A and B are shown apart, each in its own frame.
Chain A
Amino acid sequence: MAVKIPRLAIMGHPNAGKSSVVATLTENDRIAIDKRAGTTTESTSYPVIIDGRTVVEFIDTPGFQNPNAILEWFQANESVGDLARAFVDTHQRDPLFAHDCALLQPVAEGAGIILVVDGSKRIKEKDRVEIELLRLTGRPRMAILNNLTNQDRHMAQWQDALSKAFNSVREFNAHRATYSERIKLLEALKSIDQRWEERVEEAIDAFACDWERRTDQAVNTILQLLKDALSYRVTRTVKNGKLVFKTGRERIRDEVAAEFEQGLRQLELDAQEHVRANFRHHVWNLPPDSILNQDLFSDEVGQALGLSRRQLAMVGVAAGAASGATVDLAAAGHSLGAGALIGAFTGGVLGLVGGKALAKLDIERAPGTQRFTMGPVSDPRFPFVLLDRIVLYSARAMNWAHGRQAADEEAANKVPERVAVRRGFSEELTQSQQRELARFFQAARRGRDCDREAACREIIKEILSGVATSRIDSRADM
């Protein structure tokens, strides 16, 4: 192609967050990022490759080490045509300017410039120097106000200063940027050099397609998790000889119950792993207080997620009265021949049982042996809790910027998370949607596919895409 590939050097002074921006833009959390300044020591290219063809190239650079000297050199040599090239040629050997040469090298090779500045701080001398010297390079350039805090007093000033020297100025929080913000930033790239428009457009399309596909996959994973979890059961056959005493029976029962819960946890973990890989996260730790770190069956989770009791009752009454009865009949049918029904649970009035019991325990007596079976899940709340949790996890994965790995979460001036909503996703759905979900859950419980699946797919997808576009709060605090 005759059109040159847009190359963009991400520049700024040390610790301005250049690597974070690159990581977030290219969804690459393998880029070394550290709170400490000077983590990036050389210019590294991060191409965006579409079908094996490089479309855009982002170049992560070390920070300016001698901005004043560079500026003065530029000013003194203003008559030289290509300042960046001349500077690099002149200072290549000087270890003092090693980083400066490394970062000007791409510019010397014709790359565009993305200046990253920390918009939360007032404009410093260094910043002005850098702005001026980048202006002198004469390349297409754009500035990113990487404001990691809610401190926006200086933003206007920054805007003024930057817009004088840059084709485009955008705010961008490399640690919080969602998908839509990334796309907007890419859109802005088009405007700084018209020749890039086609390529950048292509990249944006690819990003959008990719995102759509990943959302679909996440929905698939979620549905699969629900189906698996709701039809999950654990069976253990024990010889009668081991059940002589009551304690032996209880022990077996506890073991089966534990195994059942563990199995469900494992299912959830697997699904989370899928979601995580799906959104290209390799390095990612949840904040320790996240509800996702709580046990799936803990009270905190139960209280924070899922439907409220009233909603559950409404859904149960509206959607499940008939089917609830059939569920019970079916359950009874299953256990009739098995004999004693020890689990305290009866799936009775759906929605009114705030259920301690997660599932019922079946014991089938056969000559010489007894078969303990736990499952499927019968607690009507559980699927909603599970759904909320996996959606929450997905939301976190979607909105967790890849450049955030080293974010200093303890820093006091970071953006305070919004006031805790402390409500699950499902709780905010309309009642008809909740009903759809409830029906789907029931079908899944019986291991049956049902035509609700498509509707549920739509519902979940809507939540996820809402989260991605910030239409729905992603509950980052949970």
Chain B
Amino acid sequence: MDLRHHPSESPADHTPDAAARWDVPDLIDLEYYLDADERALRDEPAARQRLTERDRALYLEHIQAPLDGAAPHTQEHRRASLRRWLAERRAREPAGMGALLPGAAFASAQRLGNLLLGGAGFLLGVAVASALLNYDGLQPVSVTWYLFLLVFVQFALVVALVSTWVTRRVRTGAAIGQDLSLLTRLIQPQLSKGAGWLQHQRLAHSTEEVRERAQSTQGLLRAQYALYGPIAYLPLLIPAQLFGVAFNLGVILTTVMLEWFTDIAFGWGSALAVHPQTIHDLARLIATPWGWLFGEGVGYPTLEQIEGSRIYLEQWAMSSVARPDPEHLRSWRWFLVLAVISYGLLPRLLLYWASRLVLRLSLERLPFTHGRTQALYARMLNPRLDFTGVGGEGGAEMHIPAPVAPGERKPKEAGEPRAKVPLHVARPWRDQVQRRAPVPPQSTPVDETSTPPAAIRSAPETAARPAVPAVPTMPVTPPVPSAAPSVGEVAAADSTAETAAGTPGPRATPPVFEQVAEPPVEDRTSASEPVTEPEAEPKAAPAAAEPEGVPEPPRPAVEPVVEPASEPEPEPEPTPRPEPEPEPEPEPEPEPEPEPEPEPHAASESGEGQERVGDTGAARLIEPDPEAASRTEPAAQSVAAASQSSIVSDAVSSVDQARSTAAPEADEREFENKAPESVAEPESEQGGEVTEGETEPEAEKTTAEPEGAPEPPQTQAATLVESAAEPTSEAERVPEPEPESTPQPEPEPEPEPEPEPEPEPEPEPEPEPEPEPEPEPEPEPEPEPEPEPEPEPEPEPEPVVPVASGAGPRFAPDGCLLLIHVDIDDVLEPEDQPRLAALLAQHTGWRIGARAPFGAGSQMTEEALALVTDGAWEAPPARIAIIQDGSQPPITENLVFLRELRAAAGTQAQMLLALVGDPEDEDRLPPLSTFDYTDWQRKIEQMADPYLRLEMLAPQPQPQDGED
């Protein structure tokens, strides 16, 4: 008899069919694997990643596909995927290990146990039955005992089992058992406590290990029970039923065998006065299950048979007088067998089947939602997220731009395209007004000496506002600018051509010349008209240049002057931008060309040129009556001298001579001229103040001029020229003095010359913007001042002036150029200016000679640089203070700007980089955090620029800010 009815319990679950079913060994293995995983996790949290990957991979590769029908997170899906996961895990065990898994071990143990229990039950049944049916021929076998032991006791056990089962069910189902449990509640704790105490006592004397193991087993069992309910104990109950079934089978078989092969007499007896009818009723009651089938006499004995099988002991003692009918004694035989079958075997079989059914149902209903399986399920279902890509350190650090050689810068930046995009178009957010605002301050150089800081502030402000309107038109025309400079040059060339062709040459390119030539003419023509102020300037400038024209260095000064002049006409601003780039290139080329051309012109037109010059001068004079008159006179003189010299030279070759000769003459004249100029400037200042803000700065400049007599005139001239035609003439002359003064320039000359060629273009742009706005207002003031102040300042400045680089602003010995980053400049309010100046002075002792914004594009940079190269520095090495927003980390762009600045200002120019924190409402020049400062410091140090100093503009609350 095979007691193993569990083919499915074999761990062989690789068949597709089995792969969807759960069995007890599967659960055990699942728990085993889960436990292993959990232990791995506990030992090293990092294992989580590995587990996640493994389970997700298993799911994707082996589990998902067969389950494509089921939706995730449903019961079936969970069960099936876990089951498949288990199958996969088992399949991954090394060969031979599969049989050693706890599930397989359990299955084989269960098989063996079933076998043993079945065998034992059968044997026991045989033994008990044969013992009970032992018939010695004397005394019939007692039906009562047989029935009691094999039927009533068995049945009672079954009933008890079922009843506990049922009550348990009921109690868990509803809380009906509460009343009952009052008793159990009182007793059970005591019992369990007693058991616990006993156990504790036992364990207390056992070793630690044993104790822990016992406790963990306890815990495990409890946990298992909590998790799996009936499944936890049914596997143990089922073998018990098996035992019962086998036992009954043994009993029945033995009984039947004995009945078949031996004659057995059955009887019953009682000491009580029991009527056979009662027994008969009892027997019939007991036989209810089968009585209907077999009927009285077979299924159960008849009343007669019962009477006949009654055993009276005296009967036997009295010898066998009335022997009972053997048939009556045998009448119980089938009754007993049927009773055992009905009350022993059948209930056991039912229980067996029922428990198997319950087990199956429980297994099928397992939700697998407890923590550990939930985690596993989540690992399988959840997409595995992975973020790789820890960055390599391959990138280069921020690039520290190499120093820019003076000549390099322009070609680099000279991207022609840039010039094509007007600033306000390129940066719509940058309001023209905003942009202009800073520009005017630049253009309007403020001489600290002459004007107090307050004046300076007011100057930029006022200048800025008014300047704005005039500007827009100028910038709009970018292409023209290129022409414009050339025009200026041309104009100069034209005018100069007569006198000194060589001087204009470098600036004016031949082609430009032609083109430009027209405009100048127009200008001149127009100059006669009121509008001509600017035009007149250029003319005058060239005229002045012509005589002076010999020395190149002066040219730069002249050029800027000229350019502004040209610019003012139609498109001053744009012209400067493009000019800077193209100019350098064309200059060299044109120089030679123009020279020859001008020479002939000069030769032929010399007289005319003189005349023209005189005319132009006259025109100018006419316009700015007083000033013009005074200036024009000298100018005319100089021009005349120049023309004369040129005339004298006549020949092309004579140009040089003319220069040399003319230079001294021009110088002398220039001085004279300068005197008036300087005078005029102060006047202009006054006038400017009176009339417009713009004029003020100019006035300041002019005042500054006195310091460096020759240079100042130049700067003034430049500004003046820009503003007024008359000054231009002066400016032109100014350059002359430089060449003449060449001996003087020695200190400066070296640095200057280098930057000059490049810067020349730059300076042009600067002046341009200034002139644009200024010219209109300036003319008025200029004329007035000219006569008065000129004489006084002239003498002094001339000797003092060391280097007059260009036509830009004049810088007193302690004056500096202040460059402010637009981010700060945009925020600064007028009332911040004094503080800014004070802070600056605190660091350097410098006063602000001019200011300009930077940081918004190359054009702005050009303009700023132009101020440097164009400015007239009384104390040669340039002084530049740069205000940066230190709260923004340094980027290459900032450093490049510093490099360019260095290239423009010369290697020994003092540069102060002052950092400001992020502007706030209450404090627009707040101190910088130390962290940001050190950040900048690192970069600046890498630049290795000994003349560049890094400071915090505003001192930090606690730490001091030292000066280098």
Q: Taking beta carbons and an 8 Å cutoff, which residues of A are in contact with B?
A: 13-15, 26-28, 30-32, 35-38, 40-52, 60, 62-69, 71-73, 75-77, 95-96, 98-99, 102, 121-122, 124-126, 128-129, 132, 161, 202, 205-207, 209-210, 212-213, 216-217, 220, 223, 235, 273-274, 276-278, 326, 329-330, 333-334, 336-338, 364, 366, 408, 411, 447-449, 451, 457
Contacts and interface: CB of A to CB of B under 8 A. Distances in A.
B397 interface: yes
12 contacts: A36-B935, A44-B389, A50-B386, A51-B384, A66-B893, A71-B857, A76-B420, A125-B826, A216-B375, A274-B45, A333-B196, A334-B200
A364 B204 contact: yes
Nearest to A131: B429
B220 to A, nearest CB: 10
Contact of A326 (B189, B384, B885): B189
Contacts of A330: 193, 196
Given A38-B398, A42-B391, A273-B45, A71 B426 contact: yes
Contacts of A126: 823, 888
Interface residues of B, number: 76
B208 A235 contact: yes
A376 to B, nearest CB: 12
B891 interface: yes
A447 B215 contact: yes
Interface in B385-422: 385-399, 401, 415, 417-418, 420-421
A337 B931 CA distance: 69
B918 A125 contact: no
Contacts of A278: 45, 48
Nearest to B858: A72
Contact of A31 (B208, B391, B885): B391
A333 B385 contact: no
B293 interface: no
A329 to B, nearest CB: 7
Contact of A62 (B56, B215, B395): B395
B387 A66 contact: no
B962 interface: no
A451 B222 CA distance: 12
Contacts of A76: 415, 417-418, 420-421
Contact of B889 (A14, A28, A52, A336): A14
A48 B96 CA distance: 41
Given A37-B890, A102-B395, A333-B196, A448 B421 contact: no
A68 to B, nearest CB: 5
B863 to A, nearest CB: 14
B894 to A, nearest CB: 9
A329 B385 CA distance: 51
Contact of B385 (A43, A50, A125): A50
B421 A47 contact: no
Given A49-B388, A73-B415, A207-B385, A277 B399 contact: no
Contact of B427 (A47, A128, A326): A128
A42 B196 contact: no
Given A40-B391, A235-B208, A337 B399 contact: no
A96 B382 contact: no
Given A220-B371, A326-B189, A447-B219, A64 B891 contact: yes
A28 B48 contact: no
Contacts of B48: 217, 277-278
Contact of A41 (B60, B371, B395, B430): B395
Given A66-B893, A68-B893, A121-B918, A41 B397 contact: yes
A206 B599 CA distance: 84
Given A99-B892, A277-B46, A364-B204, A28 B387 contact: yes
A76 B385 CA distance: 44
B197 A277 contact: no
The 8 closest A-B pairs by CB, nearest first: A42-B395, A76-B417, A41-B395, A37-B889, A44-B391, A65-B892, A49-B386, A277-B45
Given A75-B421, A213-B378, A42 B383 contact: no
Contacts, number: 219
A273 to B, nearest CB: 6
A373 to B, nearest CB: 10
B479 interface: no
B217 to A, nearest CB: 12
Contacts of B223: 449
B262 interface: no
A40 B396 CA distance: 9
B167 interface: no
A209 B205 contact: no
Contacts of A65: 398-399, 891-893
A211 to B, nearest CB: 10
B918 A37 contact: no
B387 A46 contact: yes
A67 B855 CA distance: 10
Q: Which of A26, A37, A278 has the most CB of B within 10 A?
A: A37
Nearest to A94: B399
B387 A336 contact: no
Contacts of A217: 48, 375
Contacts of A216: 374-375, 378
A129 B857 CA distance: 9
A142 to B, nearest CB: 20
A213 B55 CA distance: 14
A129 B860 CA distance: 14
Contact of B399 (A63, A67, A98, A209): A98
Contacts of A95: 396, 399
B219 A51 contact: no
B528 to A, nearest CB: 41
A205 B385 CA distance: 11
Given A37-B891, A129-B856, 5 more contacts: A40-B395, A96-B896, A125-B856, A276-B45, A277-B45
A336 B931 contact: no
A205 to B, nearest CB: 7
A407 to B, nearest CB: 13
B920 to A, nearest CB: 9
B384 A75 contact: no
A13 B387 contact: no
A365 to B, nearest CB: 11
Contacts of A338: 204
B383 A66 contact: no
A226 to B, nearest CB: 13
Given A42-B394, A449-B222, A449-B223, A205 B426 contact: no
B219 to A, nearest CB: 6
A43 B859 CA distance: 31
B896 A66 contact: yes
B182 to A, nearest CB: 13
Which one of B196, B421, B891, B919 has the greatest number of beta carbons of chain A within 10 Å?
Answer: B891
Nearest to B857: A68
A235 B918 CA distance: 63
Nearest to B894: A65
Q: Determine which residue in B201, B389, B415, B429 has the highest number of CB atoms from chain A within 10 A of its CB, and name it.
A: B389
